[in-house]
Amino acid sequence: MNFQRHPLPQAIDSIAHLRLFVEHHVFAVWDFMLLLKALQQHLAPSGAPWAPPPHPRIAGLINSLVAEEECDCLPDHLGGPLHLSHFAIYRRAMEEIDADTSVIDAVLVQAMAGDLHGSVCHPSIPDAARRFLRTTQDLIRAGEVDALAAAFTYGRELIVPDLFLSLLARLRLINLPCPTLCWYLERHIELDGDIHGPLAEQMVEVLIGCDPMARDRVERVRSRVIGDRHCFWDAVQAQLANPVAV
């Protein structure tokens, strides 16, 4: 599915619209990290005692992704050099356009207090984001690493370049003042399109191996997470089309 053709980016025509979008999409940014850290626990665990990972190349991929996501460097023209996680950079981009961060902040406080399940059920989370958050939690609880890898690959890494290319083109066309968000989008287009996406797909194939049950499970997850993402974009677009929502 080509997300570049989704009409949501074309529905954004003001800062108010962009604020609504990022207040929803920040949960996708957090959800991405939940999936990535769950994969790291399975494929490149920390702690002692230590043993060599069964798939060193995959462990390297996961660890490099975590390093990039948890510590990137904002350039000079955005207030850098400043080392921040991509999530923190996204939140900074929200503040730059006066978007509301109170809901994601409250969810994070609850999650870090040890109530991850409860945080995902927080009543203030936008309904559009709730579906994919619950899917991720279902997969984390099930603990099937090939399914987690499929959600990460097909619902995130392989579609992010299409999603972000169309959004970035729209923001540039209408010249909205959101330089940090544009840098964030550019960074993920570069990393995911050229490097991470193809490697993530290889990771899924390695984890499936010759197991037909694993392949069936991966295909079901692939369909589910792509459907979740379509529903998310459709729901946000519907809110943008409703003058009361913005």
What's the mean per-residue pLDDT of the chain? 92
Is-cis flag, bond preceding 161, omega within 30? no
pLDDT at 93 (0 to 100): 98
The two three-digit tokens of residue 159, written as one number: 């579609």
Quick one: average pLDDT of 73-93?
A: 95
Looking at this protein, which amino acid is placed at residue 136? Answer: T
For the cut 70, the answer to whether the pLDDT of residue 246 exceeds it is no
Quick one: average pLDDT of 51-63?
A: 93
Going by C-alpha positions, the residue among 196, 209, 121 that lies closest to residue 159 is 196
Q: Which residue has the higher pLDDT, 147 or 195?
A: 147
Instruction: Dump pLDDT digits (tens) for 218-227.
Output: 999 999 999 9
Q: How far apart are CA 89 and CA 100, in angstroms?
A: 15
pLDDT at 245 (0 to 100): 46
Q: How far apart are CA 174 and CA 169, in angstroms?
A: 9
User: pLDDT class for 47, splitting at 50, 70, 90?
Assistant: confident
Distance of CA 39 to the CA centre of its chain: 14
pLDDT at 142 (0 to 100): 95
User: pLDDT class for 197, splitting at 50, 70, 90?
Assistant: confident
